[in-house]
Every structure is written in C-alpha cells, then in structure tokens.
Structure 1
C-alpha cells in the first residue's frame, strides 16, 4: 500500500442495463492476484431500468472493496466516469466498461509497471472480441512511450491506468452534456501531451475488450455524422494546440483520417451502410479533409487508403462503392510449406499472399514505379505509387490462444518474392515466405495452457490481413509439450471418408 488505507488502484465502471453481462467483469475483479484490500471497484449505475442495480448492490454487500453509486440516467458513460474519479481513493484509476473483463494478474502488473517507471499513464495490452485493438503498439514493451517515438496515438480508448493525482492536477474529465461520441479521445489525447511518462505493457494481455453480440451497449448505435465529426474536430484542435505544422502533426492527424473516416468508406463496412447515411458520412469526411488536413496527412497513407482519401476528397461516392465491392473480397491465403517439431519446439515455414477472390493483388511497373492495380480508372498514378510499400511488405506469424484471445508475435524470418507473368506484361504479385520457431516452454512467458492457433499476417499497401493456418497446438498445462493437430490430415481423412461414401 502506498499509504495506510489508500488503495493502489480504483477501477471505475459505468453500468447501464448490462444485466448478466456484468458478471464476467465482476468475476474477473474477484480473481485478481492483487489482494482485495489493495484495490477497489466503483460501479456507477447510470439509472438502469433492468436488474443491474440489484446485481451490483448484491455484489457490494458481499465484497467490501466494491462500491456502487446510483445516479439518474445521464445517457452516456462520461458522467459516471467523472463521478467515479471524484469518489476514487486509489493512487491510480483504471476505467473499465461493464461488458469487458480483466486478466487475472492485470491490476497487479499494471500497478507494478506504473511504479517501476514512475508513469502517469500505463497502457496495458488488450485483446479484442468484435472490436479492433492496436496491434503494432503492443508488439513490444515501451516504458517511455511518447506520441513522437511510438504508435501511441493508435490507442485512444480510456481503458488505461491513470495516476489519480495526474487526472486531478490537470482537470482531466470526460465531456458531459448529452451523447458525445469519441468522448474518451479528447481526454486521452490531452493526457498523452501532459503525461511526464507513459508506459506500454505488452508482455501480458491485461484487458479483454468486447463488442456484445446483442449490440445493446450504450455506444453501439450508429453514429450521427455531423455531431460525430464535431468530436473529431475537437480532438484535432487538441493536437493542433500542442504541435507545430509538420510531420508529427500530420502523423497524428492521420490516425483520425484512417480510423474514423476512411475505415467507414471501404469494404464491407461501406457496403452494409444505409444509402442516405453513407452520403452524409462521405460529405463530412470531404469537409474535414479539405478544411483541416495538410497534404502530408493523406500523403503518408499506404496506397489503398490514399486512393480512398482521393475519392472521398472529390466526392466520388459511386467509385467508393465500386472499390468497396472489390475490396470486400480481399483475404490472406496461407499454406504450410514445412513443419518440424522436436520436444517443446515447433518450426513452421509458410507461404502467403493477398487475394481478391481467386486473383492475387496485382501491381504494374510504370516508369520505374510499382503501382497498385485497382478496378477503376482516373486515379492519379502518384496516388497508387506502391514502390516504398512493396519493399516494406511484411509477413508476421502470430500465435493466438483460442480460449482468451491472447496474441503473441513470433520471431520470424521472411522474404518477399515478386511473381511475374500471371496477369500480363509488366504485372506482378507478391508471395511472402517466412519461417518461425515456437518454443512452448517459453511462449507467453510460459503461460501456454490451452489451444493455440497460428496465423500468417500480411501487411502491405493498406491491408493487414490474417490467414489462418491449419494447425492447432494443444498444451494441457503451462509450459508443457504441445500436442499438434494438423488439420490438413484431418481434412484429408474427412475427404477420403466422403469419397468412400459417395462411391458406395
């Protein structure tokens, strides 16, 4: 304990009509390796109309380190979070959502990281379920991360550990007054600029972030474009107030262009959008690109996203639809070239490529440049120039524990081969070949109990796609030798059985 009677951590949770969905979070808090007397959980019931209030009151009655506040419905998580800060007693505050949950050692590890590095903010590794979470940020531990030296801007949700004195010193509070989309962006961006030290803990998955299948959590409703983009502009204002025009500002602005605008104007996400809503979204995106972004913002994107930004800036919604229909078929295809195993170690060699349908993603040589081939004309060649991205194309091999969603980047050696002659003169596509050795005695710090899938992840010209490999590694205990299920053999047996039955 930092002081007698002062908890190390206060976990603040807004709760609204979550019903039984709260149980997984509650159970994870009761399983924490940090002793119960060293942390507290503050649930703020935002005027629930189901049995949430009763569930929380029963929980608090049984566990002294859990408290419940009941308030009239505010309609959004901001007011409950702010009240949670006011009532928190911990040295640090962590903001959790009512349908997420913690790994067993999360609070202990996050607090230890904060103390060891004297950090104002600790960003713990997240696993996503129906929700995107940062990938590159969690490739390694970063104990002195800044917006300049790391992809910190990729993590703008509030699910982090903050020093409570830091929040109070700078008056960091969530914006209230109705439903404010991206309410955590304005708080987190300010906090990053103000923080004396921010640490990223990547060697342990701390927080499991969930999109409920019933989509009834309060922020799941479709956004209203004009108010949504007002919140985007608020976040951009904070960046502009703390940076000068130039590469850093452009890189930070690029995060909102990429995630909040272009990601909604491509692929299946665009195709599933209502027509009138899409028109509004495209118009608001066009305004922000024209009003707020320097040329270097879109210029620093990979070619595919540059093309989407190019079309959006010019209001070419019909072409955005054409591109989305083609992109909806993009997938990574991966095969196993070689598999070797000895004791606890498995070595696998794979080949992988990006395809749209059955056709590999193609490029053409044009005056010394490699140009991405898209299914439409009238996009300036410089927009599709992929020379730098082709040379930087990356293949990662990732192990994912099926039970928990933990993802581990494996040490991999890879090379990228240009394959020509398949799509006409001057055309080529890329095949990536990589080898990795998985030591199940040391993987994930020896925490290997469970079933592990293997994925080939290709990153190139604006896509990051996973191709599932037909291998499953089953570890009955932590650090044990894995049992390998080669699903190629399973499928061959199934196919043979089907063939025999057909012949009969």
Structure 2
C-alpha cells in the first residue's frame, strides 16, 4: 500500500516512554489511510518490542520491525535505515520514541512539502528539557538552501520531513553503529543535496523531549573523526567563499568549541589534554581565518586559546567565563490603544556563582574600542588579545523577549528594539577603564496576532534572551522589577473582543492568560469594588462595577453569571464592559432580575463573553442584599 507519509520511529529500551508518541500518532488529523507508522526496535533488552506489538495489534497503519541486533545495538542509524527501507510513503518523517507530534503536524508538514515542492521541510520545534532549533523556523521559508540561508545550519537533526524519492535518488543513509553526530551527518548531506528546503514557521509541529536513556558520551578521537568528516563534507561540497565560511563557523562554534568548553572546567588534566590533542588538528585543518573571523568574541577567544596549544589554558578560560547569566528587570508596562501589551526591559550580562551571587561581566575600554576582560596570562597567548576585541559584537547586542506556552513549549519571539549603554566599573591594573554593558529594550505584544498573525491561546510565560558576544543567557522575567510596575499591570479586552490577562505567578514572574471565551484573570481588574453602584428599578437590579483595564476600543458584550451558596442553578444576565472616561478605566454594566436574587443574600459574580460557551471567570466581586432595595458590591 502506498501512502502519503511514513513515520519511522527508532526504539530501544523504550517500554516506559513510547506511549505518548504512539498516542500522538493515533490523533493525527491527516487521514489514517494517508500515513503509516513504522516502529523499529534496535535490540531492546526490555519488553519494548513485545509491548509495541501488543499495543498496535489492531492498528492497520502500524508496523513493528526489529533490526536483529539482539542484546546489542546498531545505533538509531541502523533502525532508521531499516524503517526507511520498509517505508512506502511519498514523504518520510523520523521521530524519536520519547518525542511527540502535535495533532496537525503531519498534515501541515505534508501540505508544506506539496505546496512548495521542497525536498526537506523543517518543522517548528518546541523543546522540553533540551534545546530546540529555532533559527531555521523563525521566518517563512519556501525555497531555501544552505548557500543562501545559512540559518539552515541550525537544522542539522533527523527530525524533519524528507521526500522519499529525494533520499533514494541521493543515496542518503544514516551512519550505523556508535557514530558521534550521526544525525548531523545525515542532515548535512541531505541539506547539501536538496534542491530546496522549506519550513513550517507558524505552527509547532514537533515536541523534542530530553532523552531518558542517553548513550555514553563519545570519546575525543571518535568525536574528532566525526567532526572532520563533517568539515570535509562542507569543503568538498561548497566553493571557497562566504557561504562556506558561514557553515564552517557555525559547525566550529556549536559542535567543537561549545562541546570543548562544556568539558574543560571539569575534566582531569589527562582527559583535557586528550580532548585538546584530538580537536586541535581539526580546527587547524578545516577552520580558515575567514571563517574564524565570523565567530562572536567569546568563541573567537576560545578558538584562539585552543590554537595556542595549552590545554590548561582552556580550563582557565572556562572557569573565568563560568556562570554567564542575564540579570533582567521589568521597568514598565502599559496597554496601547490598539490592544498591544507594551513592556520595557533592562538586562545586564553577569557572572552568577553557585550561591546566586552576581558580578558584572567586565569589558576593557581602550582608545574607543572594547575587549573582553581576561586574565593577563590568557591575553599573553598568541591571537587572544585580538580575538577579545568585542567592539563590533557590542554593537550587535540584542535583548530578545519571548513568550513560552506553559504546557506546549511553543516559543513566540516578541519584536524588540535594543539600546546598549555602558556602566563605569573603575579601572584595571593597567589603568584602563572597565565597564559593564546594559541592554534596554522596548517591545509590544499583540495577543490577537502575536504568533505570525495567529492569536496566543492558553497560558504563556515571559522570558528574555540576552545575546551578547556569543553568549545567549536566558532569564525568566518578572521577579526583578521596578516597584511601580505592580500598579501598571492590568488585563485587557482586545479590539476583537478576546481577553488577555497578564499576572504575577506564585514566584513573582510575569505570565499571561490569553484567548478563550471566558475572561480568565478579569478579577485582577477589580481593584475598588466599594465604588460600585447598585440600584433597583422596575424589577431589575442595575449594577455598575468599576474596572481597571487596558484601553477599550468599544464596549464588549458579556454575560454575568451569579451563583449563591445553597441555591441550585445560576442567574444570568447580559451586559457590557464599557469605557469609563479614562484610557485605563472601564465599568461592568448589567441589569439582573431581582426576583431570583431573593433566594439568597450573597451572590458571587462571574463573567463570560456574550454568546461564548465556557466556564465563567470569577470577577472576585460579591453582591450583598441588606434588605428591600438595599444592595452593595464588595
């Protein structure tokens, strides 16, 4: 049977964690007759294969295979290759057993491939406990290639949709066995061979979870050999020039320098020397000065120290730059008249020790230029002082706010304009000025269209990433804030009638409820209920309750839902939230029949958007009856 898409899932000792992946496949909106799932067991020593066969016994769209490596492993590459050989779909998507596909993932990925004719489609990916690639899907991409879109170097993983005829035509297979960076090899060969690459940028199509059964760390010689093969592939496929330099620089930064830095501070002297001896020849042979010049300052310094030939200097550098973090503060917030939540942020680049103590990352100012403040013994190494010049890097510093969905992990960047300033810190031993850097950014979120034109829905947490000199520390926003911000923060009805409710979490961080038919968080708008007005007229109780909200573009139709202890059912009345004479003031106006209110002396008030089925949102106001015709709101 030929189908549109084949999903290949390599499994090994996955009996405790394959169930969510299997369930997610069963919930796909792409028709069951249009896709198949091929699970391939790679020599599991537990009951994975037997359990999978039992769980899929009645699924005509599922197949369970085995690599034949009983008790051993051919690596995920062997299992994926066997799955690829068995696949019949026009497209193939490789999924790990501990990962998960959203319901619409296959349908969106296939539609993107068919619409663009691309050989590869990169899914927007949400990370859960591990980093997810973000650059390749940050913007729309229809017909890209590494040579024209270097951000695709950020998409060197197996979790993409591939046109099967393209894989067969190019003869692409995964390396088998314990090969470090095997996914990188497959993906890079595919990217270089593809005529075009597309991306799904506006919907999350893959949930990347931390591997519960990670394999052993590679030894330095194996990693160096694998890295050399990747560099050889780039040098053999691309002409000398800017495109090659960009790709080489990315690979050098992410796969060699970052991996080495992660180990330098904790390895013993002999182990560190072995890593240095294995990786230094790779850098010397494949990373040209023109590629190294494209690295940010922190990585240029790391590369220069590596080339200097002193393993212990790598440890010294790693410890000197340990604990890079961002100390961010929320300075102000307000709602614009067109329904955007505007925020002002500042962030400092700091070192953070194990006790949480923070000290600023220092820069040396010298004759109009700035360099990273490094120990004198490191600066004395060949090329390090030149590499530490961060003048151009500081001009490109960026404070990048983003909203992250609490459950789904989807991240939505918020456009921001960054301004950089320096803060004097005295002078160093040579008498040169020392400064810290501070980034300031103003940004605006339109909850009705923030996700590439689509509304935010659900619960979102605010983060920010400070991109400076190759460091990208990330920080949650809210716990540190200007004392006046609490008085500025308020919910809002948006121009389309939907509701957005920013609020402080139990840890004093800023989050936001958005979308839905109930104005969840509207109780945060009720600040002075004692100023409410209640009066009876012709059998109706008319209420006017003041609210502090973002500017209203027009009255918002709502339904008030009143409940009382010991009374079955609810009392409902239509009303509206209307402007009240100032941009941040509004009022709930509603008329409630008095007859059913006689059943109880106290009624709690909740709200719904008019005509929208949902659980009512508590207003936090209680209607009190003190006697005939006497009512108050508190």
TM-score by length of 2: 0.71
Larger gyration radius, structure 1 or structure 2: 2
Aligned length: 479
Matches within 5 A, 1:333-412: 333-341=327-335, 345-357=340-352, 358-376=358-376, 377-379=379-381, 380-412=384-416
CA RMSD after TM alignment: 2.5
Aligned to 1:61: 57
Which gives a bigger RCO, structure 1 or 2 (Cα 8 Å, sep 6+)? 1
Aligned to 2:435: 428
String of CA shifts for 1:94-144, please: whole Å, max 9, x gaps.
111111111221111111111110000001111223332223222212112
The verdict on how the C-alpha distance between 1:55 and 1:450 changes in structure 2, with shifts beyond 3 A counting, is: farther
Which is worse superposed, 344-353 or 422-431? 422-431
Deviation at 1:488, TM superposition (A): 9.1
Which is worse superposed, 439-448 or 229-238? 439-448
Which is worse superposed, 137-146 or 347-356? 137-146
Q: Determine if contact 2:269/2:312 at 8 Å carries over to the other structure.
A: no
Q: Secondary structure at the match of 2:127?
A: strand
Which is worse superposed, 322-331 or 459-468? 322-331
Aligned to 2:417: 413
Counterpart CA distance in 1 for 2:394 and 2:175 is 43
Counterpart CA distance in 2 for 1:290 and 1:137 is 29
Matches within 5 A, 1:240-259: 240-259=235-254
Q: Secondary structure at the match of 1:443?
A: coil
String of CA shifts for 1:173-202, please: whole Å, max 9, x gaps.
1123x3111122222222112111111222
Counterpart CA distance in 1 for 2:200 and 2:230 is 25
Deviation at 1:71, TM superposition (A): 2.6
Counterpart CA distance in 2 for 1:432 and 1:329 is 19
Counterpart CA distance in 1 for 2:62 and 2:227 is 35
Aligned to 2:21: 25
1:459 corresponds, among 467, 474, 481, to 467
Work out whether 1:482 is the aligned partner of 2:490.
Answer: no
Q: Secondary structure at the match of 1:385?
A: coil
Aligned to 1:201: 200
Matches within 5 A, 1:215-294: 216-217=213-214, 220-266=215-261, 269-273=263-267, 275-294=269-288
Work out whether 1:211 is the aligned partner of 2:210.
Answer: yes
Aligned to 2:36: 40
Aligned to 1:185: 184
TM-score by length of 1: 0.89
Counterpart CA distance in 2 for 1:418 and 1:48 is 56
Q: Determine if contact 2:425/2:436 at 8 Å carries over to the other structure.
A: no
Aligned to 1:500: none
The verdict on how the C-alpha distance between 1:439 and 1:75 changes in structure 2, with shifts beyond 3 A counting, is: same
More helix by share: 1
Counterpart CA distance in 2 for 1:83 and 1:179 is 16
Q: Determine if contact 1:441/1:479 at 8 Å carries over to the other structure.
A: no
Q: Secondary structure at the match of 1:119?
A: coil
Aligned to 2:110: 111
Aligned to 2:586: none
The gaps in structure 1 that reach 5 residues or longer are 492-504
Counterpart CA distance in 2 for 1:301 and 1:479 is 47
Matches within 5 A, 1:13-162: 13-73=9-69, 74-150=73-149, 151-162=151-162
Q: Determine if contact 1:398/1:408 at 8 Å carries over to the other structure.
A: yes
Q: Determine if contact 2:246/2:294 at 8 Å carries over to the other structure.
A: yes
